Amino acid sequence: MNDATSSSLSSSPLSDVLPNPSQAAVNKASQVQEMFDRIAGTYDTLNDWISMGFHKQWKRLACQKLYLPMGGKALDVCTGTGDLIAYLLPLVGEHGEVAGLDFSENMLLCARKRYQNQPNVFLTQGDALALPYPDNTFDAAIISFGLRNVTDIPQALAEMHRVIKPGGWMVNLDTCPTPMLPGMRFYFSRIMPLIGGALAKDAQAYQYLSESTRHFLSPSQLKRAFEDAGCIQVTSQTLMLGSVSLQAGQKPI
């Protein structure tokens, strides 16, 4: 694993990177990339606030579902500031490797600072829809709060499936459009943008979080998407009164 894609991707327009994208998809991807570039500096603090610290527990559980072997290789797609990497490292140990990929330069900058002294963390700027890794490279791959943002969910899952080894696991953790309590919907649509406005000075970005959650796939649709990507033994569960969902599936041997 190396960082070879970083410089080429950062200077290319996104339209050169996405496979046959429609103009609408290019526009959405560019807007998402710009938005995360904008909020990178406050992203981690805001996550603590809007999830009331619960995201740590969800991430730990999601990483356990990867069944990573000690000394194994893990991939974190849409790694952002690399928060999830902190949960993956103890699972693979010092002889293992963790790769993180994201298309936002500023989010990756935060990750690079955080893991600058960690020789087994490899960060790459790239597109989740065209992963720059050979087939069957990783023991497991995870995407956390990223799938909702990509313009082609089946393609992102197909890419994760392609780069994991036969028998490896892939996991999605993300917000869920069908929370059980009406109060949760109010929290997502009204309170979160207020917190985002106050702390990140970017209410629009946190309005997007609410909107993108509302239009995202349900847990059963995500389970189906994992199966369509070729996974077996697919499980799906909801957390936090249905406001977050978690899918795991295995690539057949």
- Residue 66: closest CA among 77, 79, 75, 53: 75
User: Applying CB under 6 A, does 14 fall inside the site for ligand SAM?
Assistant: no
* Residue 170 found at the interface with ligand SAM (CB under 6 A): no
Number of C-beta neighbours around residue 194 at 10 A: 12
- At 103, give phi and psi (nearest 5°): -100, -5
Query: Site map for ligand SAM, 174-213, x if CB under 6 A?
Result: ----------------------------------------
Smallest gap from Cβ 252 to ligand SAM, in A, equals 26
Q: Does 79 bind ligand SAM (CB under 6 A)?
A: yes
DSSP 237: E
Neighbours of 61 (CB within 10 A): 15
Binding of residue 133 to ligand SAM (CB under 6 A): no
Give the C-alpha separation, 116 to 46, whole Å.
Answer: 23
Ordered alpha helix ranges (H), 12-84: 14-17, 23-50, 55-64
Q: Which residue has its beta carbon closest to ligand SAM? A: 80
Contact between 140 and ligand SAM by CB under 6 A: the answer reads no
- Under the binding rule (CB under 6 A), the answer on residue 9 touching ligand SAM is no
**Alpha helices (runs of H) in 65-171, residue ranges in sequence order:** 85-92, 105-114, 153-163
Binding region for ligand SAM (CB under 6 A) out of 2-10, 30-38, 160-168, 242-250: 30-38
Shortest distance, position 217 Cβ to ligand SAM, whole Å: 15
Which residue of 50, 75, 127, 132 would you call a contact of ligand SAM, by CB under 6 A? 127
- Minimal distance, residue 197 CB to ligand SAM, in Å: 17
Query: Could you give the CA distance from residue 79 to residue 82 in angstroms, rounded to a whole number?
Result: 5
Among 51, 149, 172, 245, interactor with ligand SAM by CB under 6 A: 149
Sort strands 73-77 and 138-144 into parallel, antiparallel or unpaired: parallel
Binding site for ligand SAM (CB under 6 A): 29, 32-33, 36, 78-80, 83-84, 102-104, 107, 127-129, 144-146, 149-150
